[in-house]
Structure 1
Amino acid sequence: DVGPEGERTRGSRGADARGGAKGAPKKPGRPQGGGGRGGQGGGARRGEAGFGSPSRPREFDARIEERVRDRYADKPVIRTPKTFPGAEQEGERLQKVLARAGMGSRRACEELIEQARVEVNGEIVTEQGKRVLPKDEIKVDGLTVATQSYLFFALNKPVGVVSTMEDPDGRQCLGDYVTNRETRLFHVGRLDTETEGVILLTNHGELAHRLTHPKYGVKKTYVAAITGPLPRDIGKRLKDGIELEDGWARADHFRVIDQVGKNYLVEVTLHEGRKHIVRRMLAEAGFPVEKLVRTAFGPIELGDQKSGWLRRLTNTEVGMLMREVGL
Structure 2
Amino acid sequence: MAADRSGRGGSGGRGAGAGRTGGRPPRRRSAFTPPRQVRLRDGEGKPVVPDAEPNGEPTEAHRTDGERLQKVLAGAGFGSRRACEALISGGRVRVDGEIVQEQGVRVDPAAQVIHVDGRRLQLDESKLTLVLNKPRAVVSAMSDPEGRRDLSEFTAAHSQRLYHVGRLDYETEGLLLLTNDGELAHRLTHPSFEVDKTYVCRFDAPGGPPRGLVKVLREGVELDDGPARADRARVLAQDGREAVVEVTLHEGRNRIVRRMFASQGFELTALMRTRIGPVVLGDLPTGTTRELTGRELGTLMAEVGL
- Return the TM-score normalized by structure 1: 0.67
Secondary structure class of the residue paired with 2:110 = coil
Q: How does 1:1-327 map to 2 (within 5 A)?
A: 90-104=65-79, 109=84, 112-113=87-88, 116-125=91-100, 126-128=102-104, 130-147=106-123, 148-228=125-205, 229-327=208-306
Aligned residues: 240
Higher RCO, 1 or 2 (CA under 8 Å, sep at least 6)? Answer: 2
SS at match of 2:185: helix
Deviates more, 1:96-105 or 1:220-229: 96-105
| Matched-pair contact (CA < 8 Å) for 1:98–1:109 | yes
**SS at 1:146's partner residue?**
coil
1:46-80 CA-to-partner distances (Å, cap 9, x unmatched) read: xxxxxxxxxxxxxxxxxxxxxxxxxxxxxxxxxxx
Q: Write the distance in 1 (CA, Å) between the matches of 2:126 and 2:82.
A: 23
What CA RMSD, in Å, does the superposition of the two structures yield over aligned residues? 2.3
Q: Percent of pairs identical after alignment?
A: 55
Residue 310 (structure 1) shift: 0.7
Q: 1:221 to 1:94 in 2, by over 3 A?
A: same
> Residues of 1 paired with 2:248 and 2:216: CA distance?
14
SS state at 2:297 partner: helix
- Residue segments in structure 1 that go unaligned for 5+ positions in a row: 1-88
Q: What is the distance in 1 between the residues matched to 2:68 and 2:141? A: 38
**Superposed displacement of residue 264, structure 1:** 0.5
Matches of 2:297 and 2:227 in 1, distance apart?
32
CA drift at 1:186: 1.1
8 A contact 2:85–2:103 mirrored in 1: no
Could you report, residue by residue, the CA deviation over 1:131-152 in whole angstroms, capped at 9, with x for unpaired residues?
3142311111221111123222
CA contact (8 A) 1:153 1:202 kept: yes
Looking at secondary structure, tell me which structure has more helix per residue. Answer: 1
The CA distance in 2 between the partners of 1:174 and 1:101, in whole Å, is 30
Q: What residue in structure 2 maps to residue 20 of structure 1?
A: none
- Whether the 8 Å CA contact 2:214–2:235 is kept in 1: the answer is no
Give the distance between the partners of 1:272 and 1:266, measured in 2 at CA: 18
| Deviation of the 1:261 alpha carbon | 1.7
CA distance in 1, matches of 2:188, 2:144: 24
The one-letter amino acid paired with 1:122 is G
Residues 225 and 263 in structure 1, CA contact (< 8 A), matched pair in contact too? yes
Query: Are the equivalent residues in 1 in contact too, given 2:72–2:109 (CA < 8 A)?
Result: no
Structure 2 CA distance for partners of 1:202 and 1:91, relative to 1, 3 Å: farther
**Does the 8 Å CA contact 1:186/1:203 hold for their aligned counterparts?**
yes
> Are the counterparts in 2 of residues 113 and 128 from structure 1 also a CA contact under 8 Å?
no
Q: CA deviation at 1:100?
A: 4.2
Query: Could you say if the C-alpha distance between residues 114 and 175 of structure 1 is closer, same or farther in structure 2, counting changes exceeding 3 Å?
Result: farther
> Are the structure 2 counterparts of residues 167 and 91 from structure 1 closer, same or farther at C-alpha, using a change threshold of 3 Å?
farther
Which has the larger Rg?
Answer: 1
Distance 1:300 1:284 in 2: 29
Contact 1:93 1:131 (8 Å CA) reproduced: yes
